[in-house]
């Protein structure tokens, strides 16, 4: 496969880089964590966003070495940031195939050890798809048993079953941006507000913190804060940016 070869070569040539998007405390606007989002610095095409190549390589074994690079690079960067910001964390997206690799937990542990980070430093974002089924649950449990924090990503898009939530050892529930954006649907019957509020209540009863993704407008932030949502991520705060271009806040609700 041509693309696969190109990506393999790109990995050898170190053409990937990570951008980061702040995840802030909904009440105080302070940065608590950053989500690492991979980009491909293509010699001809320029900066290629993950949506253009991740879905393709998630189906191949190439996601394993790329995923390992992402984990190590995120750990390296976090080590640098932690000199100034002790409690800061970085969340990393993990593909189902990566999670299913027998040596996955060791790869995470090696990245943490190399940069003297505690087990809580990196949060592993997994989608519902990755944890569906017996195997998925077993993989997730294995990783969680080692004390590595998990976030359920894109919650509300797949075959989300709220009844499974209490069985998953997640520290974060990330409500998908489609649900956040439907909060202000014109017709009340089409609004996702009751669902978002219920998810927050439910997650809290299960001891899980809630991250709202794709928050674009101050009114959405204000509502979410009023409902007790813990963390906010989205353009209302900041777009993903290279480490040198990051703005650190704190952000205030206008």
| 176 interacts with Mn ion by CB under 5 A | no
Q: Of 54, 100, 195, 241, which lies in the binding site for ligand G, with binding defined by CB under 6 A?
A: 54
| 125 interacts with Mn ion by CB under 5 A | yes
Q: What is the DSSP letter of 121?
A: S
Nearer to ligand G, 205 or 245 (CB): 245
Q: Are 206 and 152 in contact (CB under 8 A)?
A: no
Task: Give me the least distance between CB of 155 and ligand G, in Å please.
Answer: 10
| 35 interacts with Na ion by CB under 5 A | no
Nearer to Mn ion, 51 or 102 (CB): 51
Encoded one letter per residue, x for contact with ligand G by CB under 6 A and - for no contact, window 195-234 reads ------------------xxxx-----------------x
The CA distance from 203 to 140, in Å, is 18
Stretch that binds Mn ion, among 15-23, 86-94, 177-185, 214-222 (CB under 5 A): 86-94
Nearest to 108 by CA among 95, 97, 122: 122
Q: Of 73, 128, 153, 223, which lies in the binding site for Mn ion, with binding defined by CB under 5 A?
A: 153
The CA distance from 48 to 222, in Å, is 33
Stretch that binds Na ion, among 63-71, 130-138, 145-153, 202-210 (CB under 5 A): 145-153
Nearest to 30 by CA among 231, 180, 235, 225: 231
Strand spans (E) along 2-121: 16-25, 31-42, 46-48, 89-93
Stretch that binds ligand G, among 48-56, 139-147, 185-193, 197-205 (CB under 6 A): 48-56
The CA distance from 227 to 235, in Å, is 20
Task: Give me the least distance between CB of 129 and ligand G, in Å please.
Answer: 11
Strand spans (E) along 137-232: 150-155, 172-175, 209-212, 231-232
Residues 13-32 that bind ligand G (CB under 6 A): 21
| 154 interacts with ligand G by CB under 6 A | yes
């Amino acid at each position: 496969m041509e693309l696969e070869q190109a990506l393999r070569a790109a990995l050898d040539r170190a053409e990937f880089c990570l951008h980061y998007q702040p995840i802030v405390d909904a009440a105080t606007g302070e940065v608590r964590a950053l989500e690492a989002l991979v980009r491909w610095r293509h010699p001809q095409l320029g900066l290629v966003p993950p949506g253009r190549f991740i879905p393709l390589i998630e189906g191949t074994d190439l996601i394993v070495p790329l995923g390992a690079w992402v984990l190590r690079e995120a750990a390296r960067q976090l080590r640098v940031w932690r000199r100034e910001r002790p409690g800061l964390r970085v969340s990393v997206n993990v593909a189902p195939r990566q999670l299913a690799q027998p040596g996955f937990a060791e790869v995470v542990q090696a990245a943490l050890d190399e940069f003297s980070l505690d087990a809580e430093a990196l949060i592993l974002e997994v989608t519902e798809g990755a944890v569906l089924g017996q195997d998925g649950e077993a993989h997730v449990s294995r990783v969680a048993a080692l004390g590595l924090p998990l976030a359920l990503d894109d919650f509300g898009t797949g075959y989300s079953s709220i009844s499974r939530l209490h069985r998953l050892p997640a520290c974060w529930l990330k409500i998908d941006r489609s649900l956040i954006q439907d909060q202000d649907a014109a017709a009340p019957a089409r609004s996702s507000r009751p669902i978002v509020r219920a998810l927050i209540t439910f997650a809290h009863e299960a001891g899980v913190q809630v991250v709202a993704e794709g928050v674009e407008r101050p009114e959405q932030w204000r509502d979410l804060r009023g409902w007790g949502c813990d963390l906010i991520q989205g353009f209302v705060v900041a777009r993903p940016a290279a480490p040198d271009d990051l703005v650190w806040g704190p952000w205030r609700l206008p």
